[in-house]
Structure 1
Amino acid sequence: MEATRLIKDALAQATGLLTTQPDEALAQTEAILRQAPGLPPAEFLAAQALRRLGQPEAARLRLATLAQRQPTVPALLWELAQAASETGNSAQAIAALEGLTRQQPGVASGWFLLAGELRKLGRTGDAWHADLSGIHASSRDRDLLEAAIAMNEGRLDEAAAILDARLVRLPDDPATIRLLGEVHWRRGDMSAALMLVERAVTIAPGFDLARDFLIRLLLQNNRLTDALTHAEILVQSPLDNPGYALLRASVLVRLGDQAQAAAIYQGLLARKPDQPQLWQNLGHALKTLGRQADAIHAYRQAVQYQPTMGEAWWSLANLKTVKLDAQDVAAMEQALATLALDAATKSEDIFHLHFSLGKAYEDARDYAASFDHYDRGNRLRRTLLTYDADEFAAEVKAASCCFTTTFFMQMGKSGCPASDPIFIVGLPRSGSTLVEQILSSHSRVEGTMELPEMMIIASRLQSRVDEGEFPDFATMIAALTPADRQRLGEEYIDRTRVHRQSDRPHFIDKMPNNWQNVGLIRLILPNAKIIDARRHPMGCCFSGWKQHFARGQAFTYDLGEIGRYYRDYVALMAGFDAAAPGHVHRVHYEHMVADTPGEVKRLLDYLGLPFEEACLAFWRTERAVRTASSEQVRRPIFTDGVDHWRHFAPWLGPLEKALGPVIASYPG
């Protein structure tokens, strides 16, 4: 009895030394085994010490022998699995871990280690299932549940503290790492979020929810090729989740591959056709591809399955060439009445329906009813947006005051010398898509889409002022060295390369808001061409006001605000013309409509491109067009829209007042 107690005490003492002094733990354990040969607890402790001393093969042999005698002890199976893994004996590690996970399916770490060993043997499918089982086990973990609750309630510091403490104990736990990534994302620390979620996916490649989240983070950062790589992996998941295919389609849409996206939507609809959102997505892709009849069918299927789906109705109206008839108007009015009775009504459905009814009544020449619906849609949409016209005007004035002739002379020549980009800037609905379609018909110019890259670069620079690194915009811009300017220009070229699908020497960036960045473009891409697409202020602003944009353009939902925006735009462009004469080429929509051949020749001369007849037959050019004018540029130039705003003149007083003198000075 006394000998047993002494052995028990010696084992306890050796166990206490295992973490900090494994060599001493091993020596004491071997002494115990000399007194009690083959004693299982001592053999197990000796193997643990050997593994910690960097002798995994010796540990594995002892553990394997022990496991033959005690094949159901979880701690023994776990230790054997780790020793076998460290010696490259994946088959033995897998056997041990399969036994462990059968006995303790709620222990996530066993599943994750099993997944890693299965991958080493090329058993990818089984490994994926093991990762999924590990995540399922993690979902019951008390610490993770508490952290998730704290995060969802906005107690981010508390959530981070729980997760950081957990990572001290389990430094490679993918569920903890992913959740901590989301905490950082909610804090606004995108870099930390991306690093953590990427690490979680690296540790557990079958962690579908983490990969899904990672793709969305990558999309937010415009890392489209990386997002597609992960989306291609996610759709191979053993889980039959249609959402993964949808996510892949959304990445393809961002990359401009509408055809592949449409094929995904069609495949999903073949399995389950009563999905209005899918029909709408398919309609968007088909519209962009120029398949108008098929797009109309898709949108009508969407509203058939969900008559209150405002965005689908607006998508029909927004084709511009489709006229909604009396039956459609009745259906939309009924949809509004239905939504009025539903406490869970989404404002998005309501304002989309108002914009759609505005278009329907406009086509019916009932301009008073049309304006009323446009007005109601705009007012509702405006309540959902944050936009400060005074703040924006101050930013524009700061940029205008910065980019002067003297400033450009002081900065000297620098930047990336690439002449690839052709920027088309201006306001939405100014005729920019028409200019883009004309130029994209030229054999040396590739049309892409409204690219966000320059806006991202400009926003990043502005954040240095907002965060206090520089006192103002001018100081920040002046601090850019020649090396900085070259690097930024090269960054733009590199980031936009993913959107180029041909070897044509020039490509178009049609982001209209880049008029705010003409000075920056001049600094970092001095050989880029800039085209200012301009339209009569009343026609342009009214057309923008009655257009609901999928995202951005927050200034368009109030007549006074859009008028001020146009005025700011004219002022900045005039200042830039004075600072860099001839650097920007202006195309007036009305002139292009009145004399297309002459305007096209002037445009091509500015770009240094030879004339090509295809530019005059631009509507025959087959390419994806994503803007609101997608159908209008697929037919010859028409004059109907030039003065269309005059039908609404009685109600446009606020716009006329906000525009002020720029109306009379147009096209000066």
Structure 2
Amino acid sequence: MDKSNINTIKHALQAGNYAQAISLTKHCLANESEPASIDELYYMLTVAHRLQGQIPQAFDSVQLLIQRQPDYARAHQEKAYLHLAQQQTDHAISSFLTATRLNPALLSSWLQLKSLYQQRNEVPAVDYCVQQIRFLQGLPKAICGARDLMYEGKLFVADNVCRRYLQANKHDAEAMLLLAEIGVRLKVYHDAEFLLASCIELHPDFTKAKIEYIHLLSKLGKFAKAKDVAQTLLDEQTDNRHFLAAKAGAMVGIGETQEAIAIYQSILQQHPTLANIQLMAGHAYKAAGQLDNAINAYRLAYHHKPDSGDAYWSLANTKTYTFTPQELSDMQALATEQKISTEDRIQCLFALGKAFEDRHKYDLSFDYYRMGNELKNTRSRYDKKALEEQIQQQQRVYSKTYFTTQNNGGCQAPDPIFIVGLPRAGSTLLEQILASHSQVDGTMELHNVLSLVSRLGGKKGQYPKIVESLSPDYFEKFGQQYLDETQYYRQGAPFFIDKMPNNFLHIGLIKRILPNAKIIDARREPMACCFSGYKQLFAEGQEFSYNLDNLGHYYQSYLQMMAHWDEVLPGFVLRVQHEELINDLESQVRRLLDFCGLPFEQSCIEFYKTKRNIKTPSSEQVRQPIYTSAMEQWKNYQSHLEALEHYFQA
């Protein structure tokens, strides 16, 4: 869109020429096709109608905007002003609260809420608003503006504003924290981690930075470190439930599940109605295999917070829970409730998809899966071209010639067994089989290889080309560092498993830093694998999975990448076909153990008897003997999967 038109509309609004702004905006909307520009135009149209006193027309445009962008905070703020214009105080408060939840930097919304709560003499609510107003007004103008930009999704602009401020105000605590938060949203995790660690070192009493650091460490799977940071907070405030919960979450990550459950129970004894703690306790119970306790915790969570989509999705994500008719009715009502957050709506829609699948109402089930995926995909940053370029770069750098001439260096330890592939391809089953062996520890999806990629400049385009200029000493150092960092997740066995599926992109790097590691490719029939991924709401990442076309493209890209590794590193990767494993368990298990250099143990056949923490969606399924019911489930939805199926037609 011509930016001059946008500027003309803005100037008209500023000059009070609202009729002109409305006319020009409508003209632009009639000729615009760019989604971002359309959203901006609808916003300006809403403002112009409101300022012109055309409230019904303003309501129409803001409703269209919210339908297009349900997380657009300023749209909800505009809706609140419209409710105020009609003296609908309750609705105004609700919309202002939604706006501040989506963008806590909206000072005008906090000021309006303070005034409205004062009129009602709601003292605690007024006090909270005052606290938020003081915080925002106390920030430097540039940092307050950058925080606003971050919440509005303008991450690169926010990043630039924040960096310019830090150049003139080095070591400013709020600016360092904000830049780290932006880095997390941009998934530049290594930079964010360094910033937070530096911020804490420079400002040891800055509690907010420590809390953000704990969250990031947990996201990166560095749970032992997260636990240590949480403990430093607890040393100062022993009974702070937020710090206790942070510590318990980290403890679940390193396998101290029963101790974590005890902490959650102690919090709930004092605060039994905290839905988020019930959820966290449920996740801990589920990881420990205490399914009945997990289900009870999830049900208590939605009892205390009826709009908790997370509670309903957590029940569905056990894969074995059957919703009651009342729960089904409540979820359907919740899915259409305008006031719930987008995240709760997404979770509810996925749960409904699973609920109706269990009832064999496949068309209705797919409708809910489709709505959930479409809403989730609006937040996705999956970029087909970026993935294709990444694969091409891997192929260029990690060529046959490269491995012929660069075959020395690296850490020689044989400890790691990597399981790679696509999510929902059967990796959890493979891990459970191997972890049932006396010489193998099961861990989780470890982020360490991805963190190394980030440190090598993966987000800045320097990786993988940078590896060509590194000396062999670096690869040995990286390999040893990987072993040191992953030691926290091991229980003393000679070998351990890292089942991060996305590592399939970085097998060349793994070969350089850990040449004696074993790599297993978990392969599943493509339609079954992709549709299983489409049904799954992942905790984070896997952004390709929320669109059928993207799923097909990603699977084909994965095949291309694995074919390259087979060519340049013959014999380094063992492919295990999920369907063959299901149909001939013992032969495939023996093949798997032979590849890993492990003697046969019957416990690997009876893997479902092994007691260990499992935190993936398949946790309950792999605690049961082999079953075949999931192999053909996708065919119940075949009429809806044309966009996916054409990728795999011969």
Same-fold status (TM-score > 0.5):
yes
Is 1:194 matched up with 2:197?
yes
State the 1:556 CA deviation.
0.4
State the 1:406 CA deviation.
2.1
Q: 2:174 maps to which residue?
A: 179
Please say if residues 208 and 237 of structure 1, whose CA atoms lie closer than 8 Å, have aligned partners that are also in contact.
Answer: no
Q: 1:588 maps to which residue?
A: 577
Please say if residues 441 and 496 of structure 2, whose CA atoms lie closer than 8 Å, have aligned partners that are also in contact.
Answer: yes
Is 1:333 matched up with 2:332?
yes
Residue 637 (structure 1) aligned to one of 626, 636, 642 = 626
Q: 1:379 maps to which residue?
A: 374
Residues 377 and 649 of structure 1, relative CA distance in 2, 3 Å threshold:
same
Is 1:480 matched up with 2:470?
yes
Give runs of aligned pairs for residues 14-163 of structure 1, distance below 5 A. Answer: 146-154=138-146, 156=162, 160=166
Is 1:448 matched up with 2:443?
yes
Describe the superposition over 1:195-247 as per-residue Cα deviations: whole angstroms up to 9, x where unpaired.
2322321xx5xx64454345345546655433322211212334743111112
Describe the superposition over 1:605-650 as per-residue Cα deviations: whole angstroms up to 9, x where unpaired.
1111100010011000000001110000000000101111111111
| Amino acid in the other structure paired with 1:151 | I
State the 1:553 CA deviation.
0.5
Is 1:495 matched up with 2:498?
no
The CA distance in 2 between the partners of 1:210 and 1:581, in whole Å, is 47
Residues 449 and 163 of structure 1, relative CA distance in 2, 3 Å threshold:
same
Describe the superposition over 1:363-404 as per-residue Cα deviations: whole angstroms up to 9, x where unpaired.
111110011110010000000121112211221232134323
The CA distance in 1 between the partners of 2:230 and 2:284, in whole Å, is 18
| Amino acid in the other structure paired with 1:385 | S
The CA distance in 2 between the partners of 1:144 and 1:423, in whole Å, is 46
Three-state SS of the structure 1 residue aligned to 2:456 is helix
| Amino acid in the other structure paired with 1:482 | P
Describe the superposition over 1:462-488 as per-residue Cα deviations: whole angstroms up to 9, x where unpaired.
43852xxx5xx5632322221121111
Three-state SS of the structure 2 residue aligned to 1:236 is helix
State the 1:324 CA deviation.
1.9
Describe the superposition over 1:85-126 as per-residue Cα deviations: whole angstroms up to 9, x where unpaired.
xxxxxxxxxxxxxxxxxxxxxxxxxxxxxxxxxxxxxxxxxx
Q: 1:395 maps to which residue?
A: 390
| Amino acid in the other structure paired with 1:390 | K
Residues 301 and 223 of structure 1, relative CA distance in 2, 3 Å threshold:
closer
Three-state SS of the structure 2 residue aligned to 1:425 is strand
Q: 2:561 maps to which residue?
A: 572
Q: 2:512 maps to which residue?
A: 523
| Amino acid in the other structure paired with 1:480 | L
Three-state SS of the structure 2 residue aligned to 1:423 is strand
Please say if residues 296 and 316 of structure 1, whose CA atoms lie closer than 8 Å, have aligned partners that are also in contact.
Answer: yes
The CA distance in 2 between the partners of 1:147 and 1:159, in whole Å, is 12
Residues 148 and 222 of structure 1, relative CA distance in 2, 3 Å threshold:
farther
Please say if residues 163 and 179 of structure 2, whose CA atoms lie closer than 8 Å, have aligned partners that are also in contact.
Answer: no
The CA distance in 2 between the partners of 1:544 and 1:486, in whole Å, is 36
Q: 1:277 maps to which residue?
A: 276
Three-state SS of the structure 1 residue aligned to 2:474 is helix
Q: Percentage identity across aligned positions?
A: 39
Q: 1:558 maps to which residue?
A: 547
The CA distance in 2 between the partners of 1:161 and 1:581, in whole Å, is 50
The CA distance in 1 between the partners of 2:135 and 2:444, in whole Å, is 46
Residues 487 and 427 of structure 1, relative CA distance in 2, 3 Å threshold:
same
Describe the superposition over 1:145-200 as per-residue Cα deviations: whole angstroms up to 9, x where unpaired.
64455422225368547855xxxxxxxxxxx8633532553575543442232232
Q: 2:360 maps to which residue?
A: 365
Residue 540 (structure 1) aligned to one of 529, 536, 544 = 529
Q: 1:298 maps to which residue?
A: 297
The CA distance in 2 between the partners of 1:505 and 1:306, in whole Å, is 45
Give runs of aligned pairs for residues 399-418 of structure 1, distance below 5 A. Answer: 399-418=394-413
Please say if residues 249 and 280 of structure 2, whose CA atoms lie closer than 8 Å, have aligned partners that are also in contact.
Answer: no
The CA distance in 2 between the partners of 1:219 and 1:150, in whole Å, is 30
Q: 2:604 maps to which residue?
A: 615
State the 1:250 CA deviation.
2.4
The CA distance in 1 between the partners of 2:212 and 2:641, in whole Å, is 45
Please say if residues 356 and 362 of structure 2, whose CA atoms lie closer than 8 Å, have aligned partners that are also in contact.
Answer: yes
Residues 523 and 307 of structure 1, relative CA distance in 2, 3 Å threshold:
same
Please say if residues 561 and 658 of structure 1, whose CA atoms lie closer than 8 Å, have aligned partners that are also in contact.
Answer: no
Please say if residues 147 and 159 of structure 1, whose CA atoms lie closer than 8 Å, have aligned partners that are also in contact.
Answer: no
Three-state SS of the structure 2 residue aligned to 1:533 is strand
Residues 512 and 475 of structure 1, relative CA distance in 2, 3 Å threshold:
closer
Q: 1:65 maps to which residue?
A: none
The CA distance in 2 between the partners of 1:253 and 1:617, in whole Å, is 25
State the 1:417 CA deviation.
0.3
Three-state SS of the structure 2 residue aligned to 1:235 is helix
| Amino acid in the other structure paired with 1:656 | E
Q: 2:429 maps to which residue?
A: 434
Please say if residues 194 and 217 of structure 1, whose CA atoms lie closer than 8 Å, have aligned partners that are also in contact.
Answer: no
TM-score (norm 2): 0.72
| Amino acid in the other structure paired with 2:143 | M
Q: 2:587 maps to which residue?
A: 598
Residues 177 and 252 of structure 1, relative CA distance in 2, 3 Å threshold:
farther
Which has the larger displacement, 252-261 or 603-612?
252-261
Residues 512 and 157 of structure 1, relative CA distance in 2, 3 Å threshold:
closer
Which has the larger displacement, 236-245 or 431-440?
236-245
Gaps of 5+ in 1: 1-138, 165-175, 662-668
Describe the superposition over 1:27-58 as per-residue Cα deviations: whole angstroms up to 9, x where unpaired.
xxxxxxxxxxxxxxxxxxxxxxxxxxxxxxxx
Three-state SS of the structure 2 residue aligned to 1:531 is strand
Please say if residues 181 and 197 of structure 1, whose CA atoms lie closer than 8 Å, have aligned partners that are also in contact.
Answer: no
| Amino acid in the other structure paired with 1:498 | Y
Q: 1:225 maps to which residue?
A: 224
State the 1:348 CA deviation.
0.7
Gaps of 5+ in 2: 1-130, 147-160, 184-190
Three-state SS of the structure 2 residue aligned to 1:447 is strand
Q: 2:310 maps to which residue?
A: 311
Tell me the matched-pair count: 497
| Amino acid in the other structure paired with 2:621 | Q
Residues 460 and 242 of structure 1, relative CA distance in 2, 3 Å threshold:
same
Residues 569 and 159 of structure 1, relative CA distance in 2, 3 Å threshold:
closer
Three-state SS of the structure 2 residue aligned to 1:279 is helix
The CA distance in 2 between the partners of 1:480 and 1:595, in whole Å, is 44
Three-state SS of the structure 1 residue aligned to 2:497 is strand
Please say if residues 529 and 583 of structure 1, whose CA atoms lie closer than 8 Å, have aligned partners that are also in contact.
Answer: yes
The CA distance in 1 between the partners of 2:238 and 2:289, in whole Å, is 34
Which has the larger displacement, 389-398 or 410-419?
389-398
Alpha carbon RMSD of aligned pairs, Å? 2.4
Residues 646 and 475 of structure 1, relative CA distance in 2, 3 Å threshold:
same
Q: 2:69 maps to which residue?
A: none
Residues 408 and 624 of structure 1, relative CA distance in 2, 3 Å threshold:
same
Please say if residues 422 and 501 of structure 2, whose CA atoms lie closer than 8 Å, have aligned partners that are also in contact.
Answer: yes
TM-score (norm 1): 0.71
State the 1:660 CA deviation.
4.4
Please say if residues 146 and 159 of structure 1, whose CA atoms lie closer than 8 Å, have aligned partners that are also in contact.
Answer: no
Which has the larger displacement, 537-546 or 228-237?
228-237
